């Protein structure tokens, strides 16, 4: 299988006066055509930084200090800003959390869609408008002709997020980075957006990197999931297996901490403490101070990712010795 | 006295004036506009229990929370606390009732004064409500409160920015507990927190309830969180309670079509890979709420009657009250 997106040993650091703060360290992942890779973690885990790095939108003091990002086999992390700008939108689409700030309040939905289409494709204004109408229909906006001439403030939150998705799809990108696309929405609207993302990946073959803090959204949407902790991937593999039988103690803790319907008030498992700050990431495995199963080497050596049961886990409990 | 509920809402409604400014209204000949944020809300919260209110944005759940602590006065109906109508104004009677209730807010970054030390934040209700207390007693009390919420007494000398989100919410809880309230309104207390931290705060809230016999009105949009904390549940849609009753009954077998829809929309961890029934439509604006049952444009079972007649909440026998023409008739 050739991956559409491949990230190899990515490291992103923020340069500060007191030296670099590493926000993302040694992240490697692949996304295939039509596949949805979920990326889950708590605030500060490095999920948005990873998404921003792939989009080439990192701003100083943040920069990629190691690793490579490949889109359809060619490197995109070392492109000139102008080349990257053309690539963005054309081959990589982006959907952000807040649909209101992602849209320009002074232009109608139609104007914004048509402008985006014309930027990326040499088509006539009439054809662009037709494409805009078709896109709005595809993302599930009722009466698209009417919506085309409306302004963002005239639309509800869910409708706005659909427009943002339509905008991201204008140039038929191969890859879509969706950073918390449902977090600002109500559950009933969230369910609709989840369905939409799944349908797009299925019918258009678009690869999706879905970044969210909500394991429930991942479980419903993604094919595979990467669990991030303090800038590193703790565990990556098929969603079903990671949800039902997590191997990394952090994933186990995370799953236990999520209140579930039907659990009838059984006490929530809690992971004591909180994610470390970037300037105080513990040596060895960053999770060791909160881990209940830590071993002697956990506070000294960073565990390497090893393949176990079709997934990769970075934990000394699942190292070479215990693989037997 | 034992069966007087600590908090009781009897047909409570609250309106807001959302008209354009006077001149604009006169020039454009616009009528006055009223937004009915809450209407016909009736429920009881028994001592030592938790009633959770759930619903999507704009359903009026936070307005109910503010009515419950007297921050808003009802436009219609009565709010009773411990059997007595909620006093208004700033008289001695109001102060006496307010001392017995506190509020915890959603955003622990906005609800703590960044220029105050934790000590001052937690001690403020004591200063206001118990001015006679000596400084040493107050410091001791603050230390005990911090210990109670899982922080160290030494944390009293720090500023809020030195704490993580979860720790800040613990400070909010310590502040709320300082005046030894019986009743707490918690408005989305864990929505701004990460899941692992949310679990810590939810566990703490339940422990405190067991230990201190607290009564909670818990406002949330997350049904799974609600199931974990609530004894009773009220589901709100566009300002009205559509279903009220024991939480386990409602969550196991929802009666109102809206409750069913809401439950079906919750991403379910266990059903990885399986598809769900899609939910249609979106919440209308509360300013032009649909006629009859406000849910009828999205309801798969809506009949002609639902379009014209507002359903009245009626008991359906298992401790539940449901406002739907099709249920229990």
Which residue of A lies nearest to B202 if distances are taken between CA atoms?
Answer: A268
Return the pLDDT at A275: 84
Which residue of A lies nearest to B206 if distances are taken between CA atoms?
Answer: A267
Whether A13 is covered by a domain: the verdict is: yes
Q: Work out the pLDDT band at A27, boundaries 50, 70, 90.
A: very high
Note whether A265 contacts B227, CB cutoff 8 Å. yes
More confident residue, B32 or B142: B142
For residue B261, the chain A residues in CB contact (below 8 A) are 188
Every domain of chain B and the residues it spans: 108-181
Domain count, chain A: 1
Whether A135 is covered by a domain: the verdict is: no
For residue B272, the chain A residues in CB contact (below 8 A) are 219-220, 239-240, 243-244
Which residues share a beta bridge with A210?
A38, A178
What 3-state DSSP class applies to B74? Answer: coil
Whether A148 is covered by a domain: the verdict is: no
ipTM above 0.85, yes or no: no
Q: What does the pLDDT average to over B296-319?
A: 91
pLDDT of B1 > 50? The answer is: no
Note whether A191 contacts B167, CB cutoff 8 Å. no
Which residues share a beta bridge with A232?
A229
**Closest Cα in chain B, distance from residue A111 (Å):** 25
Return the pLDDT at A56: 92
In sequence order, which residues have a C-beta less than 8 Å from that of residue B148 and are 6 or more positions away? B174, B177, B208
Note whether A259 contacts B166, CB cutoff 8 Å. no
Q: Work out the pLDDT band at B275, boundaries 50, 70, 90.
A: low
Residue pair A88/A76 in contact by the 8 Å Cβ criterion: no
**Closest Cα in chain B, distance from residue A310 (Å):** 17
| A85: contact with B, CB 8 A cutoff | no
**Closest Cα in chain A, distance from residue B133 (Å):** 34
Which residue of A lies nearest to B163 if distances are taken between CA atoms?
Answer: A274
Whether A160 is covered by a domain: the verdict is: no
- What tokens appear for A35 in the block? 């596949």
- Which range among A169-183, A257-271, B240-254 shows the weakest confidence by mean pLDDT? A257-271
Q: Which of B220, B269, B270 to mutate to test the interface with A (most CBs of A within 10 A)?
A: B269
Q: Residue A28: give its domain's CATH number.
A: 3.40.50.300
Return the pLDDT at A25: 94
Domain residue limits at A258: 5-91+171-318
Return the pLDDT at B150: 87
Question: Which of A243, A254, A261 has the CB atom closest to B223's CB atom?
Answer: A261
Note whether B167 contacts A274, CB cutoff 8 Å. yes
For residue A154, the chain B residues in CB contact (below 8 A) are none
Return the pLDDT at A323: 41
| Backbone φ, ψ for residue B124 (5° rounding) | -60, -50
Which residues share a beta bridge with A75?
A70
**Closest Cα in chain A, distance from residue B33 (Å):** 19
Q: Which of A189, A251, A259, A290 to mutate to test the interface with B (most CBs of B within 10 A)?
A: A259
Question: Each residue of A213-261: pLDDT tens digit?
Answer: 888 899 989 999 999 999 999 999 999 999 999 999 999 999 888 888 8
Q: Which of A47, A102, A100 is nearest to A215 (CA)?
A: A47
Question: Each residue of A78-104: pLDDT tens digit?
Answer: 999 999 988 988 899 999 887 778 899
Residue pair B83/B4 in contact by the 8 Å Cβ criterion: yes
Return the pLDDT at A267: 83
Q: Work out the pLDDT band at B277, boundaries 50, 70, 90.
A: low
Return the pLDDT at B2: 54
Whether A152 is covered by a domain: the verdict is: no
CA distances, B77 to each of A249, B9, B71, B80 (Å): 52, 8, 15, 10
Note whether B196 contacts A220, CB cutoff 8 Å. no
Question: Each residue of A135-168: pLDDT tens digit?
Answer: 898 888 888 888 999 999 888 888 888 899 999 9
In sequence order, which residues have a C-beta less than 8 Å from that of residue B12 and are 6 or more positions away? B38, B40, B41, B42, B64, B67, B74, B76, B77, B78, B79
**Closest Cα in chain A, distance from residue B129 (Å):** 33
Return the pLDDT at B271: 59
Whether A133 is covered by a domain: the verdict is: no
Whether A49 is covered by a domain: the verdict is: yes
pLDDT of A210 > 90? The answer is: yes
CB-based contacts of A244-250 (< 8 A; 24+ apart in sequence):
A244/B272, A247/A308, A247/A309, A247/A311, A247/A313, A247/A315, A247/A317, A247/A318, A248/A287, A248/A313, A248/A314, A248/A315, A248/A318, A249/A287, A249/A291, A249/A292, A249/A293, A249/A315, A249/A317, A250/A287, A250/A290, A250/A291
pLDDT of A324 > 50? The answer is: no
| A68: contact with B, CB 8 A cutoff | no
CA distance B160 to B167: 9
Note whether A259 contacts B227, CB cutoff 8 Å. yes
Note whether A42 contacts B266, CB cutoff 8 Å. no
Q: Work out the pLDDT band at B329, boundaries 50, 70, 90.
A: low
Question: Each residue of B57-113: pLDDT tens digit?
Answer: 888 999 999 999 998 999 999 999 999 998 877 788 888 888 899 999 888 888 899
| A188: contact with B, CB 8 A cutoff | yes
Note whether A188 contacts B198, CB cutoff 8 Å. no
Sign of CA dihedral B196, B197, B202, B207: positive
**Closest Cα in chain B, distance from residue A318 (Å):** 23
Question: Each residue of A172-198: pLDDT tens digit?
Answer: 899 999 999 888 788 888 888 888 889
């Amino acid at each position: 299988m050739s991956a559409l997106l491949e990230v190899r040993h990515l490291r992103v650091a923020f340069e500060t006066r007191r030296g670099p703060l590493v926000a993302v360290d040694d992240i490697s992942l692949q996304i295939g055509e039509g596949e949805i890779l979920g990326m889950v973690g708590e605030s500060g885990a490095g999920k948005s930084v990873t998404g921003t790095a792939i989009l080439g939108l990192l701003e100083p003091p943040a920069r990629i200090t190691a690793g490579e990002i490949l889109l359809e086999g060619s490197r995109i992390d070392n492109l000139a800003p102008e080349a990257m700008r053309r690539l963005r939108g054309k081959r990589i689409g982006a959907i952000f959390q807040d649909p209101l700030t992602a849209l320009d309040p002074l232009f109608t939905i139609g104007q914004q869609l048509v402008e985006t289409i014309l930027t990326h494709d040499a088509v006539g204004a009439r054809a662009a408008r037709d494409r805009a109408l078709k896109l709005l229909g595809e993302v599930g906006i009722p009466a698209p002709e009417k919506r085309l001439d409306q302004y963002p403030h005239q639309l509800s939150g869910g409708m706005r997020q659909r427009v943002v998705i339509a905008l991201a799809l204008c140039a038929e990108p191969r890859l879509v980075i969706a950073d918390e696309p449902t977090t600002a929405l109500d559950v009933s609207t969230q369910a609709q957006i989840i369905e939409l993302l799944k349908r797009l990946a299925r019918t258009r073959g678009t690869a999706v990197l879905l970044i969210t803090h909500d394991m429930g959204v991942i479980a419903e949407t993604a094919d595979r999931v990467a669990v991030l902790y303090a800038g590193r991937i703790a565990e990556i593999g098929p969603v079903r297996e990671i949800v039902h039988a997590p191997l990394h103690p952090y994933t186990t803790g995370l799953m236990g901490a999520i209140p579930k319907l039907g659990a009838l008030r059984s006490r929530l498992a809690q992971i004591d403490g909180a994610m470390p700050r970037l300037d105080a990431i513990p040596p060895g495995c960053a999770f060791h101070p909160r881990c209940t199963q830590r071993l002697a080497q956990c506070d000294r050596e960073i565990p390497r990712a090893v393949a176990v049961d079709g997934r990769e886990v970075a934990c000394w409990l699942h190292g070479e010795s215990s693989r037997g | 006295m034992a069966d007087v509920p600590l908090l009781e809402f009897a047909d409570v409604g609250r309106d807001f004036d959302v008209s354009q400014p006077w001149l604009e209204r006169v020039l454009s000949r616009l009528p006055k506009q009223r937004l009915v944020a809450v209407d016909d809300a009736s429920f009881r919260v028994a001592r030592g229990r938790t009633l959770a209110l759930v619903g999507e944005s704009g359903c009026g759940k936070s307005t109910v929370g503010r009515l419950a602590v007297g921050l808003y006065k009802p436009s219609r109906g009565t709010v009773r606390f411990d059997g007595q109508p909620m006093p208004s104004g700033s008289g001695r009677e109001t102060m006496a009732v307010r001392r017995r209730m506190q509020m915890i807010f959603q955003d622990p970054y906005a609800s703590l004064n960044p220029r105050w030390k934790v000590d001052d934040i937690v001690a403020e209700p004591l200063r206001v409500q118990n001015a006679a207390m000596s400084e040493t007693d107050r410091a001791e009390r603050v230390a005990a409160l911090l210990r109670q919420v899982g922080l160290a007494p030494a944390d009293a000398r720090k500023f809020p920015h030195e704490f993580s989100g979860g720790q800040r919410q613990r400070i909010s809880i310590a502040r709320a507990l300082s005046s030894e309230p019986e009743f707490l309104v918690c408005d989305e207390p864990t929505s701004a927190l990460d899941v692992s931290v949310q679990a810590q705060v939810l566990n703490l809230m339940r422990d405190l309830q067991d230990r201190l016999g607290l009564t909670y009105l818990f406002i949330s949009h997350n049904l799974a969180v609600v199931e974990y904390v609530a004894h009773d549940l009220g589901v709100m849609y566009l300002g009205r309670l559509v279903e009220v009753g024991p939480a386990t009954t409602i969550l196991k077998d929802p009666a109102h079509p809206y409750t069913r829809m809401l439950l079906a929309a919750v991403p379910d961890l266990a059903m990885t890979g399986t598809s769900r029934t899609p939910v249609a439509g979106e919440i209308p604006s509360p300013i032009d709420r649909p006629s009859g049952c406000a849910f009828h444009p999205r309801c798969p079972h809506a009949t002609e009657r639902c379009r014209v007649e507002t359903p009245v909440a009626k008991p359906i026998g298992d401790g539940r009250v449901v406002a739907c023409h099709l249920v229990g008739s």
